[in-house]
Amino acid sequence: MAFYFKEPSHTFGEYLLVPGYSSDKCIPNNVSLKTPLVKFKKGEEPKISMNIPMTSAIMQAVSNDKMAIALAQEGGVSFIYGSQTIEEEAAMVARVKNYKSGFVSSDSNIKPTTTLGEILDLLQRTSHSTMAVTEDGTPDGKLLGIVTSRDYRVSRMSLDTQAQEFMTPFDKLVYAKAEEVTTISQANDLIWENKLNMLPIVDKNQHLRYMVFRKDYTSDKEHELQLIDKNKRYIVGAGINTRDYAERVPALLKAGADVLCIDSSEGFSEWQRITLKYIHENFGEDVKVGAGNVVDGEGFRFLAEAGADFIKVGIGGGSICITRETKGIGRGQATALIDVCRERDKYYEETGIYIPICSDGGIVHDYHMTLALAMGADFLMLGRYFSRFDESPTDKVKVNGTYYKEYWGEGSNRARNWMRYDLGGARKLSFEEGVDSYVPYAGPLKDNVQTTLAKIRSTMCNCGSLSLPEFRDKAKLTLVSATSIVEGGSHDVILRDRLGRE
C-alpha cells in the first residue's frame, strides 16, 4: 500500500512567527545575515559564505551577468542560467569575474542600419538612452558610433531614418584604449576633462570593450556587503545539467565560476548521483556543486550521500511552475522545507557535516523569506522576485500605463530547456511545466533588496535573534487558520483610495 504522510502539506502563507524576548542589543544594525553556501565540517569554516541569504534562480529570465554583478554587490550570489550554449554561459561567468566597478558591458547595441523607430522601441524596453552602434550590432563588435537622445529629434525626423545618418561617428568620439585606461580613476579623469557622459573603451581593433558612465562611478563604500573572492572579483555561480557536464563544467571552471548547481525540476535521481560523482572525481572535491530539488528527508539523504555541497528544496511551488498541475508531484513548500531541514540537522549530528539548505521557489511576500529562514533554510533561491528588477535580462513593457517585465519558466516552450525536465531518451520537452508571464516592474535591485533585508532584520529582532543560526533556534512558528489570515490584513475598513476621496 502507498505511503501517506500524516500531515497535510502547507505553504508559507499558512504560518506566522510568534515574537520572543528581545534585549536592548536586538537592533537591526546588529543583525548579521551571513550564511554558508556550501557544506563544511563541524568546527571549520565553509569555503564559501554569503553576506545575505539570497541567490537568484537559474533561469533565462533572471540570472545573467548583469544580475550576478548587482546581486554580488549586495552580498548574494546569482546562478547564471545553464539553458544556453556552453560558450555563452561561460562568457557570462567570465564577464562577472572580469567586471571592474564602473566598467560596464554595453547592453543596448544597434547596427548602423537600425532605424529611429527601432531605437525608440529599444529605449522604451531598456530605458538606456546611450546606444553603441557596432558593425554587427553585438556588445563587442567594431564600434562605429554612439547614439544618444541628443542625436535625434523625433518630431522632425522620419522613423525610417537609419542610425548611420545621425549617430555621432567614431572619429568624432572621445574614446579610450583598453590597454591605456585600466582604472576607474583614469577613466573618470577623461570623463571630467572632456565633459563626457560616457567614455567608450575599445581594443586595438576598435572593438567595444566597456562603457564607463559618469553616473556609474561608485566607491566600494556603497557596497558594504559585497561578495568577493580573494582576488577581489565578484563571486558567481552557474547552472549545469545532468547531460553535458563533462564539457560544460570545465568550461565554467575555466571562466572562473565559484560554485555550480545542478538545475533539475526533480533531483532524487541516479542522474544527479552520477553527475556529482563525475565532477568530484574528475575536477576534485574543491569544486562545489549544489543539487536538487527534493521535498523530503529521504531525498535529502540521497543527495547528501551522493556528495552534494548544498541541497535545494522545492517542487512545484515556483510562481511560473505548473508541475503540480501537469504531473501531480510536489509538496507544500513550508512542509517540504521543515522536513528536509530536520533531516539536515540529523545528518549533521551523525556525521559532523553541515549541508546548507536552499529554499527554492514560492516566495510571494518578503515575510515568506523570513519564515523560510526561521524554518531552517540557510538561503533562498528567488525567481519572480529578481525578475522584476532593472537588472533582469528581460524586456520591460508598458501596458495601460503600467510597466511590467517578462518572466517565463524554464519548463515553458519559450525556454526550450529539455535538459532540466527530460528523464532520459526524449531529448525534447514533451509537455510544458512552466508558463510565460509578466510581473510588475519594481525598479533597481539594490533598493528592493535593501528594503526586504530591513524587514527580515527587524523580524529577527522581534524574535530576539542577531544571527541566522540563533533565529532558527529561537523561532516559534504557528500555523494560522483561514479566518486568522483574513484578520492579518486590513479588514472591515474601506481604504481611502478605494472611496475616491482626497
| DSSP β-ladder status, 103-104 and 208-213 | antiparallel
Q: Binders of ligand RVP: how many residues, by CB under 6 A?
A: 23
- Residue 319 or 452 having the CB closest to ligand RVP: 319
Q: Is 360 annotated as a binding residue?
A: no
Q: Coil, strand, or helix at residue 413?
A: coil
Catalytic (active site) residue 420:
yes
Q: Kindly state whether residue 388 participates in binding ligand RVP, applying the rule CB under 6 A.
A: no
- Within 10 angstroms of residue 11's Cβ, the number of other Cβ atoms is 16
Say how many Å lie between the first and final Cα of the chain, rounded: 64
Q: Are 59 and 76 in contact (CB under 8 A)?
A: no
Catalytic (active site) residue 26:
no
Residue 101 identity: S
Spatial strand order in the sheet of 436-440: 396-399, 402-408, 436-440
Per-residue string for binding with ligand RVP, 417-436, x by CB under 6 A?
A: ----------------xx--
Q: Contacting ligand RVP (CB under 6 A), which of 287, 295, 340, 381?
A: 381
Q: Kindly state whether residue 361 participates in binding ligand RVP, applying the rule CB under 6 A.
A: yes
Q: Kindly state whether residue 332 participates in binding ligand RVP, applying the rule CB under 6 A.
A: no
Per-residue string for binding with ligand RVP, 433-452, x by CB under 6 A?
A: xx------------------
**Shortest Å, Cβ 240 to ligand RVP:** 14
- Residue 200 or 361 having the CB closest to ligand RVP: 361
DSSP at 142: B
Q: Contacting ligand RVP (CB under 6 A), which of 360, 378, 390, 406?
A: 360
- Chain Cα centroid distance, residue 41: 27
Q: Are 322 and 434 in contact (CB under 8 A)?
A: yes
**Shortest Å, Cβ 439 to ligand RVP:** 9
Q: Contacting ligand RVP (CB under 6 A), which of 311, 411, 453, 460?
A: 411
What is the DSSP annotation of 382-412? ESHHHHTBTTSSSPEEEETTEEEEEEE-TTS
Q: Contacting ligand RVP (CB under 6 A), which of 208, 249, 320, 419?
A: 320
**Shortest Å, Cβ 312 to ligand RVP:** 7
Q: Contacting ligand RVP (CB under 6 A), which of 64, 242, 335, 412?
A: 412
Q: Kindly state whether residue 57 participates in binding ligand RVP, applying the rule CB under 6 A.
A: yes
Q: Coil, strand, or helix at residue 259?
A: strand
Q: Contacting ligand RVP (CB under 6 A), which of 52, 80, 191, 382?
A: 382
Instruction: Kindly report whether the peptide bond that precedes residue 188 is cis, defined as omega within 30 degrees of 0.
Output: no
> Which of 331, 388, 420, 457 is the catalytic position?
420
- Taking Cα atoms as reference points, which of 464, 483, 499, 444 lies closest to residue 218? 444
**Rounded to whole angstroms, how far apart are CA atoms 88 and 393?**
14
- Taking Cα atoms as reference points, which of 271, 329, 273 lies closest to residue 303? 273
Q: What are phi and psi of 316, to 5 degrees?
A: 85, 0
**Shortest Å, Cβ 269 to ligand RVP:** 15
**Shortest Å, Cβ 200 to ligand RVP:** 36
Q: Is 265 annotated as a binding residue?
A: yes
DSSP at 321: B
**Rounded to whole angstroms, how far apart are CA atoms 377 and 55?**
12
Q: Is 105 annotated as a binding residue?
A: no
- Within 10 angstroms of residue 502's Cβ, the number of other Cβ atoms is 3
Burial class of residue 8 in the structure, from the number of CB atoms within 10 Å of its CB (0-12 exposed, 13-18 middle, 19+ buried):
exposed
Q: Contacting ligand RVP (CB under 6 A), which of 102, 145, 356, 383?
A: 383
**Shortest Å, Cβ 411 to ligand RVP:** 3
**Rounded to whole angstroms, how far apart are CA atoms 346 and 409?**
34
> Which of 321, 341, 461, 463 is the catalytic position?
321
Q: Contacting ligand RVP (CB under 6 A), which of 75, 332, 362, 376?
A: 362
Q: Is 395 annotated as a binding residue?
A: no
Q: Kindly state whether residue 384 participates in binding ligand RVP, applying the rule CB under 6 A.
A: yes
Q: Is 359 annotated as a binding residue?
A: no
Residue 485 identity: I
**Shortest Å, Cβ 58 to ligand RVP:** 6
Name the residues annotated as catalytic.
321, 420
Q: Annotated binding site for K(+): which residue ranges? A: 316, 318, 321
| Residue ranges that bind ligand RVP, judged by CB under 6 A | 57, 59, 314, 318-321, 323, 360-363, 381-385, 409-412, 433-434
